[in-house]
Structure 1
Amino acid sequence: GRVLLHQEALPSLPVPPLQQTLDRYLQALQPIISEEEWNHTQELVNEFRRPGGVGERLQKGLERRAKKTENWLSDWWLKTAYLEYRLPVVVHSSPGVVLPKQDFLDRQGQLRFAAKLIEGVLDFKTMIDNETLPVEYMGGKPLCMNQYYQILSSCRIPGPKRDSIVNYAKGKKQSRHITVVHNFQFFELDVYNSDGSPLTTDQLFIQLEKIWNTSLQTNKEPIGILTTNHRNSWAKAYNNLLKDKTNKESVRAIEKSIFTVCLDAPMPRVSEDIYKSRVAAQMLHGGGSRWNSGNRWFDKTLQFIIAEDGSCGLVYEHAPSEGPPIVTLLDHIVEYTKKPELIRSPMIPLPMPKKLRFNITPEIKTDIEKAKQNLNIMVQDLDVKVMVFHQFGKNFPKSEKISPDAFIQQALQLAYYRMYGHACATYESASLRMFRLGRTDTIRSTSVDSLKFVQAMDKPDKSVRISKKRNLLRRATQAHREYADMAIRGNAIDRHLLGLKLQAIEDLVSIPELFMDTAYAVAMHFNLSTSQVPAKTDCVMCFGPVVPDGYGVCYNPMAEHINFAISAFNSCAETNAARMAHYLEKALLDMRMLLQSTPKSKL
């Protein structure tokens, strides 16, 4: 079909030139390691790049791989970044999205909104199925649309050393149902009529009411809690769970479903100022075993969450997709839920949604209890702060002819430097969707230019003139912009270095010293893991830090305000999400003042 033709016309991901990557690697290290360490790394780089040396051999291997595969990176990346990653997907991998709060007057309001949302997702699914989804462009170039075809009817399956993904979006076995969870109980809800048309909001509402009424008593074991565990433990529990025929059928029904809808109990009441932060935590982990965490199946790619109190959003399993396709889907749904209902459907009696049953053996009960304990420790440890920065949005940097993303990234650099007195390795995801099956590479936001800017920023005016600081800021944002452009064109360094390392492992040669160097470990230890996920909807995505002493920062720059979600771990004494939010706010304001201040005339 059209999609295939579109995909085949896309270029393949290039393998960047070796010397270019090594030069840029040394540049990227400059602001984050000492001169002595840098000199040592330079020697290792020179050894690695010797003509006829190990670097050239691995580079040739990569180039051969690129000729043989659709995308030399995508399989490797899926395995190393996701499927072989053993920490729980909750907090450590799956992002959440906080949607604007809904005003439900009662339970009916909640169920009606859920019905409308389901109809909106099915409307989007029709575009995917008919291949009428508009192709997206970036800088005039068409983008790979493959991720849209991976997010519905898919699920992650735990394995002892490596997980896998199943997808039921195509072919004879195509899914016709979604799963709905309420009170920790799962239901299979068929969302298509016998003639193939999707159920209407009215029909869905009636079905959701049946589910609600059937699941009122909560003496059920929260089976979904198992999906929050460490992947190896969950893989063991999964095999154990599937020994029983009834359990196996229920698990398969969840895995095959198009997506999951979680009808949550209300969150604990909190004051207005921390409400959004609490919702973000709720989207990421469900609040713990006493609250809504059992009302999930975290391996499911898409889970929409709608609570009685109007808080809503989603959590998604990260392996099949990045944030932007998910947000495009969300924008579509949010618009859809605002539409008036045009047709009242004739009421054909619909079959009762099927309750998925589980037989809980003492062994499974023990697995659930262990998962609860581990999850509650994780929930206690995660610190999330949602900050709505109201003073300006993306229109201000644009008016100064500065990329809003580069501006925000420099503010993060300034905030971090003021808090810790040094720069750190910073990850910002760059989309490689200009290429077939492209995922991401890393924009390294810490540069020689960003360090010069943040160091000059707080020096008294007498030692560094305002005009000089302003120039340093502009140069730093420009450097960021250049790195970002380079990254989306397939010329950044991180995935290339990873490819060289994986090529060495595949060739069964010893891992080059370059990758055993402490500087490489420092470069890969991202104290700031960041992502810009712009949306039309006034929402914000959130995710956990990627290192124990780091921050996860996601932002959605709107025209006149910016939504930030900042996460950190309470177990680390050095990090604090609220403190980071405070410093970030100050950095943004100081940078605006710097650009707007007029130099005093010389008397």
Structure 2
Amino acid sequence: MAKLLSMQSLASLRKPAGFVRSRVTSLGFTKRNYSGKNESSSSEYLHRSVVPSMHYQKSLPRLRIPKLEETIRKYLAAQKPLLDDDHFRTTEKLAQDFLTGEGKSLQEDLVAQDKNNNHTSYISGPWFDMYLSAREPVVLNFNPFMSFNPDPKSEYNNQLVRASNMVCSAVRFMKTLRAGLLEPEVFHLNPAKSDTDAFKKLIRWVPSSLSWYGAFMVKAYPLDMSQYFRLFNSSRIPKQGRDELFTDEKGRHLLVMRKGNMYVFDIVDGNGNLVAPMEIQSHLKYILSDTTPAPAFPLGVLTSENRDVWAGLRDKLIAAGNAEDLRTVDSAIFCLCLDDVSLSDPVHVSHNMLHGDGCNRWYDKSFSIIIAQDGQTAINFEHSWGDGVAVLRFQNEIFKDTTEKPLVHPGSTPAADSVSAVRRLHFKLDGELKNGIKKAKATFDSAVSKLTIDAMQFKHGGKEQLKKSKLSPDAVAQLAFQMGFLRQYGQTVATYESCSTAAFKHGRTETIRPATAFTKLCSHAFVCEAGKHSVAELQAMLHQCSKYHGQLTKEAAMGQGFDRHLFALRYLAGSKGQPLHGLYTDPAYAAINHNILSTSTLTSPAVSLGGFAPVVPDGFGVGYGVHEDWIGCNVSSYPARDVHQFLECVHKSLEDIFCVVEGKSLS
């Protein structure tokens, strides 16, 4: 399950190490030239793309259903390092039986179904259903965060100034997108040919039904943008059994939360234009100076509840006369959370931006921008509607816009009739609803009290040195996690790395399985057999791990992993009322999907930190980034695991790896 936005890009087609990933999943994201050369002087738009935003969407290639034989082969290869010989033989027999029996007929049905739905991908519907049918709370289980780097101009990190500029830039992004003027999301393998004004002027005249092929001719790969429309005016609505996604593009207002109180005011006027930036600043200043105490029963905490519990309470809220105000919340352009805290270190930032106190959030909004008193800012987003591609693009664009072309400046004295423009929402609560809020808060507090987060920076090498040694930086980071876990717990366990399949129409994600026979062998050589291997032997193992990880990455980026395919076949069997084949009831299948190491990489000039909670109670949630000369990890755990020791073991593993890369023997 992609918990962050791990977007593994098409850069993998050129080099195995990467580009970006999506549940807290890279960011810098298509290596587009953000020079702004097409920008309009208008304050309404970020820029005016020569090529319409959705120009490539119609001709995007479809996600190909893998061959069942290949899926079974890859599944067994991923199981090999996790099982002893006896268990592997059992799993192998079940897999072969599935391949020649029930799996074969399910595959035929899946292919036929896919041919009848050529407007989408075979995984899109089941993946939406998986998210929306999940009954666990979205906070900790699904919503990730990504924090912004500070504004290079320190005076612009004032909470009011930064919030005002974030709102203005967000509206500019929204208007640019909706006007079709946002540059299409394209990965350029040869930007000297494809990321040029000349090519853009040419490709805009190629019909949309053929445009992808024109881009492909110059090694440019347009990415799916079908999720973008859910960025704004959108919310996840709790329903019994299965939630719904709601979008109302007519909404012109912003939802602001402070001290658990909820405020709204228009940030787009009746003509669809951005409200004057000084008015927005005035309204936010009014909210920040409001002396209304925190509510005894903050409604936002209900969005942290079990989805069925929240659905029942929402029905009661509507019955109590709150339907209009709930609609106002759901249709807001986005949610801005103004927190009365200053954040002292990365761990404090992570806790605040991932979950906060539960009261000053509406976790169901498509995304929320959270701004602390010291100006530290992050995005927390609901995951069912998308996989981070749109959120990451949005974050990159508004960071650039707010830092290079801010519309609100320090020292300005805003003046507007904020008393009339800003409305604080008042909800009617009876005893049952108050009790529900009280229980939700207690449940939330109990859940977050069990979460531990720690961060680590390895400063003795990074991407530059690894690439010079012809090693994949991502493969080395993943190997360090395997070594670290082996060093700490003496095991090789199921590991998940999310990879975007946005190169295809309605692509979602695929899983890279970094725990391999090669990483197991290499980890044991470094951790359990130190001194028994020469430097040359260890270097050869590192290169073998890197090569195989690169192969897995390429396959995943092309939608040719095994996880989504097996998921879709299982989903199809369930929809037909068929009993599950033994492959799916095999304990080994449950174990490989019990991802103790859930990982996602983050690298972007806009992002300082990203994080998410573990996906299983005895797991680690590993957000990481491989930079030019250092490697960073932001890791979470519950009481079953020791995150502090894990990071120490990862650091030691990186020391050993770089020691060998430099030609030195292990001490």
Asked whether the two chains share a fold, i.e. TM above 0.5, the reply is yes
In the other structure, the counterpart of 2:145 is 96
Q: Distance in 2 between matches of 1:343 and 1:533?
A: 29
Q: Kindly state the Cα deviation for residue 85 of structure 1 after the two structures are TM-superposed.
A: 1.0
Verify: 1:113 aligned to 2:162, yes or no: yes
State whether residues 112 and 201 of structure 1, in contact with CA within 8 Å, keep that contact through their aligned partners in structure 2: no
Verify: 1:86 aligned to 2:135, yes or no: yes
In the other structure, the counterpart of 2:338 is 263
Alignment of 1:283-432 (within 5 A): 283-286=353-356, 288=357, 293-339=358-404, 341=406, 349=417, 351-432=420-501
Mean alpha-carbon deviation: is it higher for 354-363 or for 26-35? 354-363
Q: Please, which runs of 5 or more residues in structure 2 have no aligned partner?
A: 1-50, 190-219
Mean alpha-carbon deviation: is it higher for 54-63 or for 217-226? 217-226
Alignment of 1:506-517 (within 5 A): 506-517=575-586
In structure 2, relative to structure 1, the CA distance for the partners of 1:105 and 1:457 (3 Å cut) is closer
State whether residues 456 and 632 of structure 2, in contact with CA within 8 Å, keep that contact through their aligned partners in structure 1: yes
Verify: 1:153 aligned to 2:233, yes or no: yes
Alignment of 1:104-253 (within 5 A): 109-138=158-187, 140-169=220-249, 174-245=250-321, 247-253=322-328
State whether residues 97 and 540 of structure 1, in contact with CA within 8 Å, keep that contact through their aligned partners in structure 2: yes
Matched position secondary structure for 1:529: strand
Q: Distance in 2 between matches of 1:31 and 1:7?
A: 40
Q: Distance in 1 between matches of 2:528 and 2:226?
A: 49
Q: Kindly state the Cα deviation for residue 569 of structure 1 after the two structures are TM-superposed.
A: 0.5
Q: Distance in 2 between matches of 1:446 and 1:114?
A: 42
In structure 2, relative to structure 1, the CA distance for the partners of 1:331 and 1:370 (3 Å cut) is same
Matched position secondary structure for 1:294: coil
Verify: 1:46 aligned to 2:126, yes or no: no
Q: Kindly state the Cα deviation for residue 347 of structure 1 after the two structures are TM-superposed.
A: 6.5
Verify: 1:552 aligned to 2:617, yes or no: no
In the other structure, the counterpart of 1:10 is 60
Verify: 1:19 aligned to 2:69, yes or no: yes
Q: Distance in 2 between matches of 1:424 and 1:60?
A: 33
In structure 2, relative to structure 1, the CA distance for the partners of 1:439 and 1:399 (3 Å cut) is same
Deviations 1:389-445 (A, max 9, x none): 333332222222222211211111111111111211110001111110111010000
Verify: 1:592 aligned to 2:658, yes or no: yes
Q: Distance in 1 between matches of 2:647 and 2:185?
A: 33
Q: Distance in 2 between matches of 1:348 and 1:372?
A: 36
Q: Distance in 2 between matches of 1:108 and 1:101?
A: 7
Verify: 1:581 aligned to 2:647, yes or no: yes
State whether residues 598 and 615 of structure 2, in contact with CA within 8 Å, keep that contact through their aligned partners in structure 1: yes
Matched position secondary structure for 2:141: coil
In the other structure, the counterpart of 2:347 is 277
Q: Distance in 2 between matches of 1:133 and 1:556?
A: 27
Q: Distance in 2 between matches of 1:404 and 1:149?
A: 34
State whether residues 161 and 408 of structure 2, in contact with CA within 8 Å, keep that contact through their aligned partners in structure 1: no
Matched position secondary structure for 1:91: helix
In structure 2, relative to structure 1, the CA distance for the partners of 1:184 and 1:525 (3 Å cut) is same
In the other structure, the counterpart of 2:506 is 437
In the other structure, the counterpart of 1:452 is 521
Q: Distance in 2 between matches of 1:108 and 1:321?
A: 29
**In structure 1, what residue type is equivalent to 2:285?**
E
Matched position secondary structure for 1:385: strand
Alignment of 1:447-486 (within 5 A): 447-460=516-529, 462-486=531-555
In the other structure, the counterpart of 1:67 is 115
Q: Kindly state the Cα deviation for residue 98 of structure 1 after the two structures are TM-superposed.
A: 2.5
Matched position secondary structure for 1:441: strand
Q: Distance in 2 between matches of 1:145 and 1:107?
A: 32
Matched position secondary structure for 2:232: coil
Mean alpha-carbon deviation: is it higher for 120-129 or for 368-377? 120-129
Q: Kindly state the Cα deviation for residue 162 of structure 1 after the two structures are TM-superposed.
A: 0.8
Q: Distance in 1 between matches of 2:110 and 2:635?
A: 37
Q: Kindly state the Cα deviation for residue 216 of structure 1 after the two structures are TM-superposed.
A: 3.2
In structure 2, relative to structure 1, the CA distance for the partners of 1:524 and 1:503 (3 Å cut) is same
State whether residues 423 and 446 of structure 1, in contact with CA within 8 Å, keep that contact through their aligned partners in structure 2: yes
In structure 2, relative to structure 1, the CA distance for the partners of 1:398 and 1:105 (3 Å cut) is closer
In structure 2, relative to structure 1, the CA distance for the partners of 1:418 and 1:381 (3 Å cut) is same
Which structure carries more relative contact order (alpha carbon 8 Å, separation 6+)? 2
Q: Distance in 1 between matches of 2:571 and 2:438?
A: 38
In the other structure, the counterpart of 1:532 is 601
Verify: 1:29 aligned to 2:79, yes or no: yes
Q: Please, which runs of 5 or more residues in structure 1 have no aligned partner?
A: none
Mean alpha-carbon deviation: is it higher for 16-25 or for 3-12? 3-12
Normalising by structure 1, we get a TM-score of: 0.91
Mean alpha-carbon deviation: is it higher for 382-391 or for 248-257? 382-391
In structure 2, relative to structure 1, the CA distance for the partners of 1:21 and 1:597 (3 Å cut) is same
State whether residues 659 and 665 of structure 2, in contact with CA within 8 Å, keep that contact through their aligned partners in structure 1: no
The total of aligned residue pairs comes to: 579
Q: Distance in 2 between matches of 1:312 and 1:515?
A: 43
State whether residues 467 and 599 of structure 1, in contact with CA within 8 Å, keep that contact through their aligned partners in structure 2: no
